[in-house]
Each structure stands twice: as C-alpha cells, then as structure tokens.
Amino acid sequence: MKTLLAIISVILTITGCAHTPGIQADAIYFGGDILTMEGDSAQYAEALAVKDGKILFVGAKADAEKWKGDSTVMTDLQGKTLLPGFIDGHSHVFLGMSIIDMADLNSPPVGKINNIGDIISAMQEQKKKLNLSDTDWIIGTGYDPDLLEEKRHPTLADLDAAFPTNPVLVWHISGHMIVLNSAALKIKGIDAKTPDPAGGTIVHKPGTNEPNGLLQENAVYLVVDILTRTGTAEETDAKVKRVFDYYTSCGITTAQDGLTMMDQMQIAQRLADKKEIPIDLVLLPKYYYLDTLISMGTTFGEYHNRLKYGGMKVTLDGSPQGKTAFLSQPYLTPVPGCPHDCRGIASIEQDELNQLFYKGYKNKIQLYAHCNGDASIDMMIKGHQYAIRQLGDSTADHRTVIVHSQVMRPDQLDAYKAYNLFPSYFTNHTFFWGDVHLANLGEERASFISPLNSSIKKEIKFTNHTDYTVTPMNQLFTVWTAVNRITRSGKILGPDERVPAYEALKAITINGAYMYFEENSKGSLKEGKLADLVILDQNPVKVDPMKIKDIQVMQTIKEGTTVFKKKN
C-alpha cells in the first residue's frame, strides 16, 4: 500500500491531479459545501476523492468522476458541509476517563448544580449509584464557586456534616483546586503541621494553621493518586474508548492529552499496541518525566499506531477564574488564602523553567507551557530567551506552545511574533467566565483575554481549544465563542477581538496541524493529505454567527474510515 501511495503522490505532482488509468477512488464526496481550508479565505471544491486513507483528488465533480470505479462509494452530501477533521488544540483525554465515575458537579448549562446543597446531594447520589461503603472515597468534579448561590467554595465543615466517615474530594472546574473533608485529610496525612508544597497552597481556617479543606495548585498533587486511580486494564481501556467516542462525535480526528502521567502513558501504549486508538492521539507528558523519557530513548514527534509523544508539558500557574493565575497586577476581588496584593501562584521557579527549556530545545522536544496569567507568560518568554542564548541558536523552529495565553498584555504578542511562539487560546472562557473575569480583572484586562484578532493582525498563528474536561469538547461552540465573545449575561467581552468564522475554523484545522508539525499531512483538503474529514449539517461560514453553536456533527472520518456517524 505504501508503494502505491508513493506512486500516486509522484503522479499527482507530475500531472497536476490528472486522472491516472487503473487507479480507482475508494470514495467520492460531492453535493455540498466542500470547504478546503486552503488559503486566507473560504475556498470550495465540487468534489473530493479518497484512496487508501488519503485524499486523491479535490476539484470539479466531472474530474473527480474520472477516478470512479466499480467499488467506489459515491457519497452525496445532500447540502451538508465537508471540512478537514477537527484538530484538538488542548484537552485531557485521560481526565475524561477519570471523571466517568465521579459525580457531576457542573452548574448550568453543562450540569445542574446551583448551590452547596446540590453538591452534597449529587455526592450522596453518587455513593448510592456506585454502591460505595461508608469508608470508600466519594469524588465529584466540576463545581464552580462563582456560579453557586453561596459564592464560595464548599468547606470541610460542609462535607463533614454529610459524610462523617467517607473520605470526600470535590474538584474545582479548573482542575487547579480541590476541597477535602476531615476523613480525606486524615487519610492523606494533611494537618496543621503540613507545609505548603512549592507552587501550592493549603488554605487554613482563619486565625489558625488548621486546614479548611481547600488545596490550591501544586497542593492538589498531594492527592493526585486518588484523582487518577484506575480499575483493571479491561475496565480502564473501556473507559478510554468511551472518551474517544465522545471526541469523534465532536468531529475530532486528532486528540491531545495535555498533561500525561506515567501510568496514563502506559495505558495509551497498551491501546496503541492493540491498535485500538481510533484517531490520532498526541501525548504531552508532564515535564518531570523528561529525563526518564530521554534515558528510555522515547521517540518524540512520530506516530506509532496513531500514538505520538508530541512534547513536554509544564504548568507555570493556575486558573484566572480560580484566581490562581500568576499576574503582574493583583486581582480586584478577595482571593481565598491570600490576605493582600493577591497576584496568583507561580507553579515553578524561573531557574528550573530555564533548565527545562534548555534541555527540551537541546533534545529537539517541543515544549507546551500552561500560562494563564501575564506574569507566567513573562516567565515563559524568559525561559525561551535563556535556552536560545545558551544554545546559540535563535533561528530553530521550536514552535513552543503557550497553552491558554489568557490574561496577557499587548506587548507580549510582540514577543510571540519575534520568537515564533505559538499561542493556543481558550475563547470558551469568554462565555463561561467572562462576567467573572470582568469582576476579578477589570474591563481592560478581561477584554484582552484570548486576543485572536490582535494575533491575526500581527500574523501570529494560533489554535483555540476547549481544555476538556474544563469545558465541553464541542468544537462548534468554541468557534461560536471566538466569533461572538458573548458572556453568560449577554455582554460582548472584547468586541475588537472577535474574528470571522473562517479564522475560527483555521484555529481547529490547519493551524492545529501546524502546531503539531503536521501541516503537510493534515488540516486542509489537499491531494496527498490524510483523509481526515468531518461532515456538518450546516456551513459555519455561511450561517448566522449566533447559530454556529447549534451546528451538528453528522459524520467523522479518520483516514477514509468512518469513526462516528450521527443516528437519525
């Protein structure tokens, strides 16, 4: 097959896509908007032909039919829209696996939680659902204090009253904070004498050293074993497959796990060895595995049975809605555990970050840096500057990715441009927490969150992402937020940063391919690229911008094979 594809590629190059006798397409798509994502504006083709998992032809229907054979499947789109498969800018596949057995503590429109009493009820229901004993761990995820009637985190006291013997853990929607009850604190050995870990905070009861149950940032790792525990190999693999089903239903053909732990790498490798990964999966191991992976001879940047080690992930700070993102100027509202001048938390020291950049660049390993606040972005820029200075190479194409790039300053975009740094933005925040950011940050800082349009003006490529499990995986909703930037209350947050739908689609197609160094094989509909496709019921470029979020994924195709098809 590889020989045949090589022959086809040479023929297409020489003949300019002219038909070659003896070669028949496996499938030809026609009869709808075939949006190629080639170029700076929307371009369409009448038909697209697929052969052996790759795109054979894109162009006029009459020319495509020259590739038709007896076994060619002719697919009439019936007015639907065909695009390149969506490329995940940043999410957490294995957290998706972990939350399957957790209580859903999300507030509307994602969930049903409105107050702390609802949290308690949901946890009690989860205990019954899983048939847990009075000493088993009960875990819930997705609570958001800004959306609760009480406007605060649940406390140890809230949880103790309902669960005097069960260890209980509730996970903040950002993933950067948790609340434990007394039984859980006791099991994990966290008490008045426990010091704050570097880059983390154990919040105390007022006037005492006694924990109030809230752990922030790196303090969460005191219980990471509870959050990431798994069952048998069979149970675990089945859960991961459910996550892949969810991703493909959203049109995803390339997924990311944005902070992979060692046991999760082993799960991914097991699935790859069994050829049970249905779409491409890019792993970003946590940075403290870097030396181990290098010593093991781990290959970065190449797929094996649809699994690729894409780079290393380092977290520099927390979340802006949780008020732990590291800022140069303080938050405007009170911050739990911080009495004054609250600017968030740096999760790593600059010297350690500098060495990580140096080691990553030296070993040609792409770096992905979680930076939500402008102070953490400053640290990231300094790390990059240090590494290129030490290596004496300022021209190498590292494509270092700044994940989130939210509360940033205009001058930092100039640094992105100068150093070819690549932001992966998170415009879903404008809807889910836009009103919260206005209160916490003020209008000027909040309006510049995820500055897509300013990036376009400076010719900076970017992706856009959901950060699933933080927000739903729905790619059309993410496009909607990029185009409209409307908050929950109906305000437009940063109207100057809105972008046309076509630019928003580039962020989840061709730009996503570029981020992963895969622009020559993915991201647009072009002869020779992989036949990674998605079919939508409507065209995001043509519908009313407010209706983009209502567009449905009808079919997802990975290398010519359907991996999702919407039921009638």
Q: What's the structural domain count of the chain?
A: 3
Task: Say whether both 51 and 104 belong to one domain.
Answer: no
Mean of pLDDT values over 358-384 = 97
DSSP string, 399-419: --EEEEEEE--HHHHHHHHHH
Task: Say whether both 47 and 176 belong to one domain.
Answer: no
Average pLDDT of the chain to the nearest whole number = 95
Final residue of a structural domain among 456, 483, 499: 499
**Would residue 305 count as lying in a domain?**
no
What does the pLDDT look like over 196-205, one tens digit per residue?
Answer: 999 999 999 9
As a 3-state breakdown, the chain gives helix, strand, coil percent values, each rounded to 5, of 35, 25, 40
CATH of the domain at 172: 3.10.310.70
Final residue of a structural domain among 481, 499, 517: 499
> pLDDT category, 106, cuts 50, 70, 90?
very high
Mean of pLDDT values over 243-265 = 97
Which pLDDT does position 289 carry in this prediction? 95
Helices (H), 274-409: 290-295, 350-362, 374-391
Task: Say whether both 427 and 317 belong to one domain.
Answer: yes
Mean of pLDDT values over 488-495 = 97
Residue 367 φ/ψ, nearest 5 degrees: -110, 140
C-alpha to C-alpha distance for 445 and 346, rounded to whole angstroms: 19
Beta-carbon contacts of 321 under 8 Å, excluding residues fewer than 6 positions away, are: 144, 146, 173, 174, 429, 432, 433, 436, 437, 440
Task: Say whether both 359 and 426 belong to one domain.
Answer: yes
Which pLDDT does position 213 carry in this prediction? 94
Contact 54, 67 (CB under 8 A): no
Task: Say whether both 65 and 155 belong to one domain.
Answer: no
Which pLDDT does position 11 carry in this prediction? 47
What does the pLDDT look like over 492-535, one tens digit per residue?
Answer: 999 999 999 999 999 999 999 999 999 999 999 999 999 999 99
Task: Say whether both 323 and 458 belong to one domain.
Answer: yes
Beta-carbon contacts of 135 under 8 Å, excluding residues fewer than 6 positions away, are: 165, 166, 167
* pLDDT at residue 121 is higher than 70: yes
What does the pLDDT look like over 346-360, one tens digit per residue?
Answer: 999 999 999 999 999
Q: Which amino acid makes up residue 104?
A: D
**Would residue 235 count as lying in a domain?**
no
Which pLDDT does position 17 carry in this prediction? 56
| Token duo for residue 350 | 């600059």
337-340-343-344 Cα dihedral, nearest 10 degrees: 0
DSSP class of 425: E
* pLDDT at residue 21 is higher than 80: no
C-alpha to C-alpha distance for 256 and 153, rounded to whole angstroms: 30
Task: Say whether both 50 and 108 belong to one domain.
Answer: no
Task: Say whether both 115 and 75 belong to one domain.
Answer: no
CATH of the domain at 449: 3.20.20.140
**Would residue 438 count as lying in a domain?**
yes
- 3-class DSSP assignment, residue 252: strand
| Token duo for residue 154 | 């649940």
Task: Say whether both 494 and 538 belong to one domain.
Answer: no
Which pLDDT does position 229 carry in this prediction? 83
What does the pLDDT look like over 204-229, one tens digit per residue?
Answer: 999 899 999 999 999 999 998 898 88
**Would residue 516 count as lying in a domain?**
no
Final residue of a structural domain among 451, 481, 499: 499
Q: What percent of the chain has pLDDT over 90?
A: 93
Q: Give the CA angle between residues 108, 113, 116 to the nearest 5°.
A: 145
Which pLDDT does position 230 carry in this prediction? 84
CATH of the domain at 4: 2.30.40.10
Provide long-range contacts, Cβ within 8 A and 24+ apart, for 267-272.
267/94, 267/230, 267/236, 267/237, 267/240, 268/94, 268/307, 269/307, 270/233, 270/237, 271/237, 271/240, 271/307, 272/304, 272/305, 272/306, 272/307
- Determine the structural domain holding residue 553 and report its residue range: 1-79+527-568
Task: Say whether both 345 and 478 belong to one domain.
Answer: yes
Mean of pLDDT values over 311-333 = 96
Q: What percent of the chain has pLDDT over 70?
A: 96
* pLDDT at residue 22 is higher than 90: no
**Would residue 160 count as lying in a domain?**
yes
> pLDDT category, 1, cuts 50, 70, 90?
very low
What does the pLDDT look like over 161-188, one tens digit per residue?
Answer: 999 999 999 999 999 999 999 999 999 9
Which pLDDT does position 227 carry in this prediction? 86
* pLDDT at residue 3 is higher than 80: no
C-alpha to C-alpha distance for 469 and 228, rounded to whole angstroms: 14
Residue 323 φ/ψ, nearest 5 degrees: 60, 35
**Would residue 407 count as lying in a domain?**
yes
Which pLDDT does position 337 carry in this prediction? 84
- Of 543, 437, 453, residue with least CA distance to 498: 453
* pLDDT at residue 547 is higher than 60: yes
**Would residue 256 count as lying in a domain?**
no
What does the pLDDT look like over 375-413, one tens digit per residue?
Answer: 999 999 999 999 999 999 888 999 999 999 999 999 999
Which pLDDT does position 278 carry in this prediction? 98
What does the pLDDT look like over 324-342, one tens digit per residue?
Answer: 999 999 999 999 889 999 9
Mean of pLDDT values over 272-296 = 96
**Would residue 239 count as lying in a domain?**
no
Task: Say whether both 124 and 50 belong to one domain.
Answer: no
Angle between helices 350-362 and 374-391 (to 10 degrees): 50
Task: Say whether both 481 and 333 belong to one domain.
Answer: yes
